[in-house]
């Protein structure tokens, strides 16, 4: 026992603290790194990239766990969209016999329902990726962008059976199997980038004010009706003066569905400007979302 820190009067051992400058100097001399605060954007990107295996492991784990407590298990990831499409087929194809200017309306609708459902799932869950994982954020240190990104991956894995179902459904509905089908993965990839970007922004906003979480379902509902899930957005937007019509046709959700339909359906010819718009949105939304999210890094987890 050294005892050197105790004063004669039986006072408590309490070394006097270093000044902030001394502390910073000591830390620098010994190569210690600051823990809090936001890393530079470049090193943040590197950190997220380093954690890619973790993101994948977590995502595949989460999606496996999803139906684990159901007796039919993973079969539900196929049954759910199948039942949804069947019910839409019964309502629109058999009962209402509506086509709304589309020849293969059931195919049109199935693509809209499955792919918009995927976007809505990613944005809905991704926006809450921080607020619903506060325990995790407070327990482990990793770049927080991993959470919304992992949610997008989880939903993508969960949506794969439904995408497969679309491929089976199309020939059944009379669509020819064409080389354009190879564009579907591209369309989905662009969509993933866009919605991941949006959910990164959403996650930051919800972290700033939890009340905003209540507005996200509203945003998604409005988008659902403005994006051509149930009816052709081209026909619908024709009724508006040009700038408004173009905005309706070229907003991200409409573009996502449009590129998917151009991949799978013969009556939607390949339009390069739509694909370019989609690529532009992908880069723009993902970069903006990532940067917006990164600017909040270092404050996540405080409350």
Partner 1 sequence: MGEAEATPSVVVSHVDIVYRVFAGRRPGSRGPRSWLSRDEENRSVRTVHAVKDVSFVARHGESIGIIGRNGSGKSTLLRAVAGLMPPTNGHVWSDGTPSLLGVNAVLVKQLSGARNIYIGAQALGLSREEVDDVYADIVEFSGIGDAIDLPMSAYSSGMAARLRFAISTAAVPPVLVVDEALATGDADFRARSRERIEGLRERAGTVFLVSHSAASIRSMCDRAIWLDSGELVADGPVDLVLEAYQSSSKRPPRSHPPAEPDVPGVERWSGDTRYHTSALTSRRGLQDQTDTVVLASGADLALALACVPGGASVAAPVLLTHPTRLMRTTRAEIERLGPQQVVLAGGPGIIGAEVAEAVDALGVVVHRLGGDDSVATSRVMLTDLTEVTTLDVVYLAPVGESGAVLTAAISSEPGTSRVLLVGEDGLTAETEAALEQLSVRVIRVLADDDTLDGAALERLRSLAREGVQRVLTPTAAAAAAAVSQDSHGRGVDVVYVASADDTAVGDAVTGAGVAEMAGAPFLLVERDDVPQVTHEELERLAPSHIVLLGGPATITPAVRARLADYLVSDADDAGPAPAL
Q: In the complex, which residues of this chain contact partner 1 (CB under 8 A)?
A: 1-3, 5-6, 12-15, 17-18, 20, 23-24, 26-27, 30-37, 51, 53-54, 57-58, 61-62, 64-65, 68-69, 128, 132-133, 135-142, 210, 298-299, 301-303
CB of 169 to partner 1, least distance (A): 27
CB of 250 to partner 1, least distance (A): 34
CB 198, CB 286: distance < 8 Å:
no
Closer to partner 1 by Cβ: residue 64 or 180:
64
Closer to partner 1 by Cβ: residue 23 or 283:
23
Closer to partner 1 by Cβ: residue 13 or 269:
13
Closer to partner 1 by Cβ: residue 69 or 273:
69
Lookup result for tokens 């509905």: 173
CB of 12 to partner 1, least distance (A): 4
Residues 6+ apart with CB under 8 A from 83: none
Closer to partner 1 by Cβ: residue 5 or 87:
5
140 token code pair: 């482990």
DSSP classification of residue 39: P
CB of 50 to partner 1, least distance (A): 9
CB 150, CB 58: distance < 8 Å:
yes
CB of 115 to partner 1, least distance (A): 24
CA dihedral of 291, 294, 295, 298, whole degrees rounded to 10: 180
Q: Is the dihedral of CA 48, 52, 58, 63 positive or negative?
A: positive
Closer to partner 1 by Cβ: residue 51 or 261:
51
Between CA 240 and CA 67 the distance in angstroms is: 44
Q: Is the dihedral of CA 11, 14, 18, 20 positive or negative?
A: negative
CB of 213 to partner 1, least distance (A): 10
């Amino acid at each position: 026992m050294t005892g050197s820190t105790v004063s004669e009067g039986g006072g408590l051992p309490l070394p006097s603290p270093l000044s902030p400058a001394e502390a910073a100097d000591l830390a620098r001399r010994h190569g210690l790194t600051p823990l809090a605060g936001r890393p530079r954007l470049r090193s943040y990107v590197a950190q997220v990239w380093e954690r890619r295996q973790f993101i994948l492991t977590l995502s595949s784990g989460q999606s496996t766990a999803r139906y684990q407590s159901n007796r039919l298990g993973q079969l539900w990831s196929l049954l759910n969209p199948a039942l949804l499409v069947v019910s839409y087929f019964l309502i629109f194809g058999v009962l209402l016999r509506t086509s709304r200017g589309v020849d293969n309306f059931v195919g049109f609708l199935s693509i809209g329902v499955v792919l918009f459902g995927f976007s809505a799932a990613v944005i809905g869950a991704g926006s809450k990726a921080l607020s619903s994982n506060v325990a995790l954020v407070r327990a482990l240190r990793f770049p927080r962008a991993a959470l919304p990104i992992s949610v997008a991956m989880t939903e993508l894995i969960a949506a794969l059976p439904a995408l497969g179902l679309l491929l089976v459904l199309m020939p059944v509905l009379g669509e020819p199997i064409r080389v354009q089908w190879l564009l579907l993965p591209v369309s989905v990839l662009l969509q993933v980038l866009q919605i991941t970007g949006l959910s990164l922004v959403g996650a930051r906003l919800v972290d700033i004010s939890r009340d905003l979480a209540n507005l996200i379902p509203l945003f998604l509902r409005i988008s659902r009706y403005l994006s051509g899930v149930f009816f052709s957005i081209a026909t619908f937007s024709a009724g508006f003066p040009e700038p408004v019509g173009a905005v309706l046709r070229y907003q991200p959700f409409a573009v996502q569905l449009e590129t998917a339909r151009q991949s799978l359906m013969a009556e939607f010819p390949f339009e390069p400007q739509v694909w370019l718009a989609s690529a532009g949105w992908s880069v723009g939304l993902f970069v903006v979302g990532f940067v917006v999210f990164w600017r909040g890094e270092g404050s996540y987890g405080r409350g």
